Structure 1
Amino acid sequence: MKSLFPTLWGNDPRDPFKSLREEIDQVFDSFGKGLPASLKAFAGPKFPAVDVAETAEALEVTAELPGVDEKDVDLTVTSDALTIRGEKKSEHEETDKNVHLVERSYGSFSRTVPLPFAADPKAVEATFRNGVLKIHVPKPAEAKKPVEKIAIKTA
């Protein structure tokens, strides 16, 4: 692939940005490989990471929120979606140290989980422990109906 970042030096071996350009090109080349085109827009990590499981009685959502205080999390439920919002705050200390690498992220986040049924916000329960938020969304009576198996006839 032709470089996304052409250089003023052309193919000069003294080009100080050559290896950086090659690495960036590799990242763009490999992004989304193996994904159907319809899913490429959703590629990449989401925060917070969530697990969604369904039982006969409820939808169980578990969200990982490491480093986030319970008081900094906001949970809202509408009839068709559950939204987790919050902020991971940075702890700034004034010291004379030289920081070489920062990989932890801070700031506001929001994650919405669509609900397959109309939920009653007053019946939703949430617990927060050790950076893990667990949300229990009970199904309404009409969503608890058993699935009927349909017999397939031979033609």
Structure 2
Amino acid sequence: MDFGKLVPWNWFKKEEEEKGHIVPVKIEEDVHLFPASIHELQTEFDGFLDSVKRTIGSKWINNPLIRTDLFKPSLDVASDGKEYSIKVELPGMDKNNISIECTNNILKIKGEKHQEKEEKKKDYYRIERSYGSFERILDIPDDADSTNITSSYKDGVLSVVIPRKVLPKKETRRIEITSES
């Protein structure tokens, strides 16, 4: 039995190593990886941090000393027998401000979102859009064909397709057991 198929590939291994934190993962309500009290505590703490971000306002959020991963676009990773597909939500971004690089089975998706226009006639009291640069780092599996990666951008969604290649089968060698005299 090939146990490798049962264990999901950690696409975010390099991103976690670089940033020193774990990327949040949506967990279905039926699955509890933590005791209920710790899970509830984490949910409350996340809500508290979100309210702090909203309360502080854009003056503090745009401060480079405080800003940490506030603009981190969501992405979906899926696969079938032929290819891996990655979809990144980048609403309002120009495709010329997005770059994709692949080196040593590490896929980097980078970009920068700019505030494009300022209206002098209106007084803004609150703007709820994220601006700034982002970088998502994905550790692609060994069976990914990194030389034939394609991408497209439409309606604020970046689609990256990585074909899968057939890996050579590993040869199993029997080891003879001898008895000691």
Same fold (TM > 0.5): yes
Q: 1:58 to 1:50 in 2, by over 3 A?
A: same
Please say which structure displays the higher CA radius of gyration. Answer: 1
Q: 1:137 to 1:29 in 2, by over 3 A?
A: closer
Cα RMSD (Å): 2.9
What SS does structure 1 have at the residue aligned with 2:96?
Answer: helix
List gaps (5 residues or longer) in structure 2. Answer: 1-41, 48-68, 170-181
- Alignment partners' CA distance in 1, 2:91 and 2:124: 22
Match of 2:105 in 1: 80
Match of 1:31 in 2: 45
What SS does structure 2 have at the residue aligned with 1:98?
Answer: coil
Structure 2 residue corresponding to 1:123, chosen from 148, 152, 177: 148
List gaps (5 residues or longer) in structure 1. Answer: 1-27, 34-43, 146-155
What SS does structure 1 have at the residue aligned with 2:88?
Answer: strand
Structure 2 residue corresponding to 1:93, chosen from 100, 112, 118: 118
Moved more, 60-69 or 107-116: 107-116
Structure 2 residue corresponding to 1:50, chosen from 75, 78, 81: 75
The answer on whether the counterparts of 1:123 and 1:138 sit within 8 Å (CA) in structure 2 is yes
The answer on whether the counterparts of 1:57 and 1:139 sit within 8 Å (CA) in structure 2 is yes
The answer on whether the counterparts of 2:86 and 2:161 sit within 8 Å (CA) in structure 1 is yes
For residues 60-108 of structure 1, give each alpha carbon's deviation from its aligned partner in whole angstroms, at most 9, with x where no partner exists.
1011110100111000112322111001111232504221111101111
Match of 1:110 in 2: 135
- Runs of 4 or more, structure 1, over 3 Å off, are 118-121
- Alignment partners' CA distance in 2, 1:46 and 1:116: 26
What SS does structure 2 have at the residue aligned with 1:31?
Answer: helix
- Alignment partners' CA distance in 1, 2:133 and 2:151: 20
